[in-house]
Structure 1
Amino acid sequence: MPILGLKSPGPSNPAHFSLEPLIRPNILALQPYRCARDDYSAGVLLDANENAMGPSLPSLANNTDPGPIAAQTLSLLSDEEVASLNRYPSPTHDDLKRSIAKFRGVPNEEWVFLGVGSDEVIDMLYRVLCVPGKDRVMTCPPTYGMYKVTANVNDVGVLEVPLITEDGAFQLDEKAMHDAFKANPDLKMLFICSPGNPTGTLIPLDVIKRVLENPLFKGVVVVDEAYIDFAPENNSAASLVNEYANVCVTQTLSKSFGLAAIRKALVNALSEIKGVGRILGGNHANFVLCEILDEDGKPSNKKAVEVYKTMAESRGVVVRFRGSERGCEGCLRVTVGTEEECREAAKQIAALLE
C-alpha cells in the first residue's frame, strides 16, 4: 500500500530497505485530515470557526498594561501579526520549512517535518512505526533518556547495545550492533545521539553510513542532532537524508547557535581544579562532562552527588549529576552559560573540592 500524501518518492538506497512494511497498518491506511485552510488561506475566511473580531488582548482593547510576559511576546510581533492572532496559523508552515530545507541542504519543504521540539517527533515516530506490546527499538547507552521513556509510554520494548566507553571513547560498538541486528531482525528503530547526551561526542558519518548499509537492520535509523551546531562543520547526518531512505534526522532550535568559545574557557577552568579528573567525551555539544574525584584520585559518584546537591541547595549553581550513566562514573554535566556563569560554576566546584 502506498503512503498517502507522500509527494516525492525520495532516495532508493539502501536496496534492503522498504518503509511501507515498517509502518503500522492502521497508520498506513489513515486518511490525512484536511481543512479548507489547507487549500485556501486568503480572502473572507469563514471556514475555521475563529473569532472574527480580533484577538482579545487588553492592550488592544483599552490600552491597558498586558503584563510583562504578554508585553514581551507582543514586542516581537509586528502590528499586522498581532492583529491576526485570532486566526489559526498555517497548517503546513511551508515558508518556514523551505527556509530550514535550504539551511540544512535538503531538496525542499516536503523533506522537513516540524514538531514541538525533538521529543514530540520522537514520540510520533514510535506511534507511526511501533505496534504497542509487540515491537522493539535499539538504543546505545549512555544516551538521551527520553528514548526509553517514550518507549515505555508507547509500550515498546528497548534493546540496549552500549557504546564503547573505554577511555571516554563513547562510540558505537559496531560488532555488538551487527550481532544484535542478526539476533533481532524485527527491530523497528535505532536511536543514535550525535553529539551524544551526556557524552558530548560525535558519531562519525562514515560509521552511521555503515549502519545504514547493514542489510541485517531493516528499520529506521534516527540520528538525534540536538547539539550538532556546536560540532565542527560538515558533520550533520542531514546530508545523508538525500542519499538514504532509512534515516531520519531530528534537530531542535532550543540548543543551537550557542557560545562555543566560552565552552573552551569552561573546559580550561574545570581542568585546573584540584579534584576534577578527566573531561570526558568529544566536547562537541554545549556542555562539559567532567569527573569528580575522591581523596584517592578516583571518580566518585558519592563525591559528585555531594558537590551537585551542595551547589544547588546552598551555592545557587545548578548542574547535572550523570554518574549513574554507563561510562560516566563520578561525572557532572555542566552546561555552557555566560562567561560570568561559567566562572561562578568553576569557582563553586573548586571551593567544594578544596
Structure 2
Amino acid sequence: MPILGLPPSLYPKYPAHFDIEKVIRPNILSLHPYRCARDDYSEGILLDANENAFGHSIPSSQSQSEDAVEKELEHTLNLDLHRYPSPTHDPIKARIAELRGLPGVEYIFLGVGSDEVIDLLMRVCVAPGEEKILTTPPTYGMYAVCAQVNDVGVVKVPLELSGENGEGGNSGRFSVRLEEVEQAIRADPSIKLVFFCSPGNPTGTLIPLSTIRALLEFAEFNGIVVVDEAYIDFAGENASAAALVKEYANLCVLQTLSKSFGLAAIRLGIAIAHPALIQILMNTKAPYNISTPTAMLALSALSPTALSSMRNKVSSAISQRRVLLSSLSEFKDLGAAIGTNDANFVVVPVLEKSGSGQPDSVRAQKVYKALAEEEGVVIRYRGNELGCEGCLRITVGTEEENRTVVAKLREVLAKL
C-alpha cells in the first residue's frame, strides 16, 4: 500500500532489507489525514477555518484595564493569535536541515517536545497488544511510559558497564551490548522499534556511530532504530547520527530545542528521518501541533546570531562540566562519576558512610532530600535505575551554582 503524499521518487532504497510498508501499521498506511484549512491557503481574507475574525481578547499595554498585559508581551499578542498556526512550519525545518546538514525540509518533523514524537512513533509502527519495542536500560523513562500507554510490550537489553575511563578520569562506561540486541531481535520478530538514548539519560554516555550503523545493517531487523539525541550538542563534533539519515531509511534521530538551545519551556522536539517516515508522521499528527508563539521563538533560536550564542553557552557548559567533575572527584563519600559525561549533567554514586566503597541508595536519597528541603539545592535521585545504585544526577550549572552545589553537598554528606 503506497504512502499517501509521498512521491515515488522518495521511496526508501537502502538498506535493501528494509521495507517501510511492513513496519507501519496497516491502519496508518491507509489513513487519509485530516486536511486543515491552512493546508490550502494562508493569505487573503481568511473565512475558511471558523476562527474568530475579531481577534483575541487579551487587553494590550495601551488599554486602561487593570488587567492589561506587560508591554513585553505585545510582540506575542501581535502574532495573529486568532489564526490557526502553520501545519508544516517549513521555515523552521529549513533552518534545522541546514544546521544538521540535511538535503531539505522533507527530512524534518516537528513535535511538541521529543515526547510527542516518541509516542507517535509507537502509534504508527507498533500494534497494541501484539508488538514490542526494545530499550537499553538505564535509559530515558518515557519510552516505557509511552509503551504502557499504547499497550506495547518492552524488551530490555541492559547496557554493559565496564571500567573504561571517561572525561576527568572517571570510571564506569556504559555501552550497548550489540550482540545481545541482535539476539533479542532474532528471538522476537515482533520488535518494531529499538530505542537508543545517546548521550544517554541518565548515563551521559555517547553511543558510537559504528554501533548504530551495525544495527541499521542487521538484515534480520525490519524495524526502525530510534536514536534520541536530546543532549547531542554537548558531545562534541561529528557525534550525531543525523548524518546517517541520508543513507539509511530505517533510522530516526530525535533532537530538541530544550537542552543546548535552552528552550525547554517552548516544547519543540525534532525528528530527523527519511522522507517516507516523515510523511507518515505528518499524515498522523494533530493538524496544528506547534503553536505560533513556539514557532516564532524556534525560528529566532535558529538564526545565525542565536546559533552562535547557543554554541558559546554549550562551550561554557562543557567547561563547567570539567570543573564540576574535578570538584566531585575530591569527595571521599562519592564514587567516580559513571558514564562518559557527554551531556550537560554528571552522575555520581553516594558511598556507604562506613568507608566500604559500596554505593548506598538509602543514604543517597537522604542526601537528595536534605539538599532540596534544607539547603534549597535541587538535584535528582537516580538510585532506582539499573546500574545506578546510590546515584545522584547533577545538572551542570553556572560557575556560581556549581560552587554552591559542591559546598552544600559537602555539608550534607558530613551530617548524613
1-structure distance, mates of 2:207, 2:72: 38
1:276 aligned residue: 334
Q: Do 2:61 and 2:71's aligned partners in 1 also have CA atoms closer than 8 Å?
A: no
Match of residue 323, structure 1, among 383, 387, 391: 383
Deviations 1:86-131 (CA, angstroms, capped at 9, x unpaired): 1111111111111111111111111100000000000000110111
Judged with a 3 Å threshold, the aligned counterparts in structure 2 of structure 1 residues 58 and 246 are, in CA distance, closer, same or farther, namely: same
1:291 aligned residue: 349
* Within-5 A mapping of 1:66-105: 71=70, 74=73, 77=75, 82=78, 84-105=80-101
Question: After the TM superposition, which of the residue ranges 243-252 and 4-13 deviates more from structure 2?
Answer: 4-13
Structure 1: state its 5+ residue gaps: none
**In structure 1, the residue corresponding to 2:373 is in which secondary structure?**
helix
1-structure distance, mates of 2:2, 2:88: 21
Question: After the TM superposition, which of the residue ranges 34-43 and 87-96 deviates more from structure 2?
Answer: 34-43
Q: Do 1:186 and 1:218's aligned partners in 2 also have CA atoms closer than 8 Å?
A: no
Query: What TM-score, normalized to structure 1?
Result: 0.94
**Residue identity matched to 1:116:** V
The Cα shift of 1:166 comes to: 2.8
2:366 aligned residue: 306
The Cα shift of 1:212 comes to: 0.5
**Residue identity matched to 2:347:** L
Match of residue 161, structure 2, among 159, 165, 168: 165
Kindly indicate whether residue 110 of structure 2 is the aligned counterpart of residue 114 of structure 1.
yes
2-structure distance, mates of 1:11, 1:230: 31
Deviations 1:146-190 (CA, angstroms, capped at 9, x unpaired): 101100000000000111113322110011112112111231100
Match of residue 187, structure 1, among 186, 191, 201: 191
The Cα shift of 1:72 comes to: 7.7
1:16 aligned residue: 17
2-structure distance, mates of 1:11, 1:21: 12
Kindly indicate whether residue 413 of structure 2 is the aligned counterpart of residue 353 of structure 1.
yes
Kindly indicate whether residue 133 of structure 2 is the aligned counterpart of residue 152 of structure 1.
no
1:204 aligned residue: 208
- In angstroms, what is the RMSD of aligned CA positions? 1.7
Percent sequence identity over matched residues?
56
Judged with a 3 Å threshold, the aligned counterparts in structure 2 of structure 1 residues 207 and 65 are, in CA distance, closer, same or farther, namely: farther
Structure 2: state its 5+ residue gaps: 164-171, 262-313
2-structure distance, mates of 1:221, 1:324: 26
Judged with a 3 Å threshold, the aligned counterparts in structure 2 of structure 1 residues 66 and 245 are, in CA distance, closer, same or farther, namely: farther
Q: Do 1:54 and 1:83's aligned partners in 2 also have CA atoms closer than 8 Å?
A: no
**Residue identity matched to 1:204:** P
Judged with a 3 Å threshold, the aligned counterparts in structure 2 of structure 1 residues 87 and 111 are, in CA distance, closer, same or farther, namely: same
**In structure 1, the residue corresponding to 2:155 is in which secondary structure?**
strand
1-structure distance, mates of 2:367, 2:326: 19
Q: Do 1:312 and 1:318's aligned partners in 2 also have CA atoms closer than 8 Å?
A: yes
Larger relative CO (CA 8 A, sep 6+): 1 or 2? 2
